Chain A
Amino acid sequence: MQQLLVLSGKGGTGKTTVASALIQLSQAKAFADCDVDAPNLDLVMHQTVEPMTTNYFGMAKAIVNEEVCIECGQCQSQCRFDAIIHKQQKEAYVIDLNACEGCGVCELICPVDAIHLESVIDGQLKLYKDERVFSTAQLKMGSGTSGMLVTRVKKQMIEQAIDTDVAIIDGSPGIGCPVIASISGVDYVLVVAEPSISGMSDMERIVTTASRFGVKTFICVNKYDVNIEYTDKIEDYAKRKHLEFVGRIPYDIQAVKAINQGNTIVDIDCASGCAVGQIYETIKKRL
């Protein structure tokens, strides 16, 4: 199975719009949404079945037994994440579960064994399975384990999809933990760039990050006509870095309409959909 991951660095450049169109065009039997803290692919993929949902347990978190706590404060002084709060009215220390990273130092240090670590639900994994396999997830608000969940989403897709030539993965913005987790193991990255000073800067950061993994990277520009000067700059950058520039997608108000009706841009006849069609033809020859 060849895996193509759609990334962007900057948010909102059109990752999901492009990824969903590529899924339709390639008739991929397997696809995934790795943007686990803001997933959207489910809104346009016309799922015919209800998802199978499983709880995702991230890192275990500390719990203080208030009856046993002697308020010595050693846990608080050793916690590097400022996750331990003294509650005077309770005469005990309590854990700020949002700040706790589950390292276990407080459990180690507590002289009266008042602290233990407990698994908590950090989100939901979802699997839609009809003739296609669609793996997605929703991270719990404020969780710090997005990278682990991304790895699970991809693993779920790979385990469920047998006899599949191509899998398309919608990534998350940025260059950090979830992005790094999503790049690991994929064959190709398609970067959707935006022709602006911000888009250019963010594109360079994601391309550099992806290059560390030695993954073959394609670049396309969305809404290219908003600023043709920057579109040209991005194309030049791709050339300089010996990355294949695979196409330009115009700003298209029909794209907004298609998405808002729960369709991909290749489900209707529109300029942006045609442009992604050409991009797909180019990429297909390389896969």
Chain B
Amino acid sequence: MKIAVLSGKGGTGKTLVSVNLASVAEKANYMDCDVEEPNGHLFFKPMIEHVESVKVKIPNINNEKCTGCRKCVDFCRFNALAYVNHSIKVFEDVCHSCGGCMLVCPENAITEREKPIGTIERGTSEKVQVHTGILNMGEASGVPIVKQLIKNETRDDQLVIIDAPPGSACIVMESIKDADYCVLVAEPTIFGTQNLSMVHELVELFEIPFGVVLNKCLDEDNPAESYCNDHRINIIGKIKYNQNLAVLNSRGEIVSRIDPQYQTIFKLILEHIVEEVGYATTSRT
């Protein structure tokens, strides 16, 4: 079963929720798909067992064969190629690795080489297998890293917790598209609520069952909670703002491993999800 944790707005507590859901499970795989700023490993501090490089393909121009016809330059919709000083220049940062330039070249002057854009680290922390995608600084897109992360873990019998990036762009979609359930984490501000409405739309579009965890709850009115009530969205957990929790979390402690109160909160959330997904599976068949 795959559970994706997302939020739209950053800093609402995606990593808090996903790290703790993985920690209270019997056995789990935690996938950090927030490859621009991966943080789950700072909590799990896993023993790293395996590091793999993630590479994309970049055109390699054979200038001896190139006749300067510029068909590749005209073809490239990403403006990743230019003909300067009688040779083709490749702008690697904007190349999408589509391979079109190679196909269009009449002289077979273009081959491809691999360029590393990031890494995936795999390790263990107690009963959790920790998989972390890390984008190299200066690279534009972490989507290939997310694809490689998700692809290698498709066994249905394992629990997979996906820590998604913020926002609602392509990389978020890539992270959640195979999920059986989405947990939307929301904070009690109008910023959090506006961004919650966006990811709500996204999970509705993908027809993935979902529930909301309200984080950092104060005694004040909670606009995120009102949004959920107005839209009949299932609230599967509420975590109160607590100075002690904020401090433990800021130090990189996994609260459910040290405080029984939080262990109970996250266990209940996980049980709820497992039950709901189980129900969804049986009702579909």
* Interface residues of A, Cβ cutoff 8 Å to B: 8-13, 16, 35, 37-38, 40, 43, 59-60, 78, 80-81, 98, 101-105, 108-109, 139, 141-144, 146-147, 172-180, 194-199, 201-202, 205, 208-209, 212, 226-227, 230, 251, 253, 256-257, 259-260, 262
Q: How many residues of B contact A (CB 8 A)?
A: 61
Is B60 interfacial (CB 8 A cutoff)?
Answer: no
Beyond A38-B167, A103-B98, A195-B250, whether A12 also contacts B187 by CB under 8 A is yes
Contact (Cβ within 8 A) A262 B37: no
Residue contact A38 to B10, C-beta cutoff 8 Å: yes
CB-based contact A104/B190 at 8 Å: no
Question: Is B65 an interface residue, CB under 8 A from the partner?
Answer: no
Are A12 and B42 closer than 8 Å at their CB atoms?
no
Tell me the interface secondary structure of chain A in the complex.
Answer: loop
Task: Give the shortest distance, in Å, between A199 (CB) and chain B (any CB).
Answer: 8
B residues within 8 A CB of A11?
Answer: 9-12, 37, 166
Q: List 21 A-B contacts (CB under 8 A).
A: A11-B11, A12-B11, A16-B191, A38-B9, A40-B190, A40-B191, A40-B194, A98-B170, A104-B98, A108-B100, A146-B167, A173-B11, A173-B36, A176-B135, A178-B169, A197-B43, A202-B39, A208-B137, A212-B137, A256-B220, A260-B190
Shortest CB-to-CB span from B249 to chain A, Å, is 7
Distance between Cα atoms of A37 and B199 in the complex (Å): 10
- Asked whether A141 and B202 contact (CB < 8 A) given A38-B8, A103-B98, A227-B251, the answer is yes
Which residues from A are CB-within-8-Å of B143?
144
Judge if B46 is at the interface, Cβ distance under 8 Å: no
- B142 interfacial by beta-carbon distance below 8 Å: yes
Contacts known (A175-B37, A198-B42); A230 close to B189, Cβ less than 8 A: no
**Contact call B141/A209, Cβ cutoff below 8 A:** no
B39 to chain A, nearest CB (A): 4
Known: A10-B10, A104-B98, A198-B252. 9 other contacts (CB 8 A): A13-B11, A38-B9, A98-B170, A105-B100, A141-B168, A142-B172, A202-B37, A230-B250, A260-B221
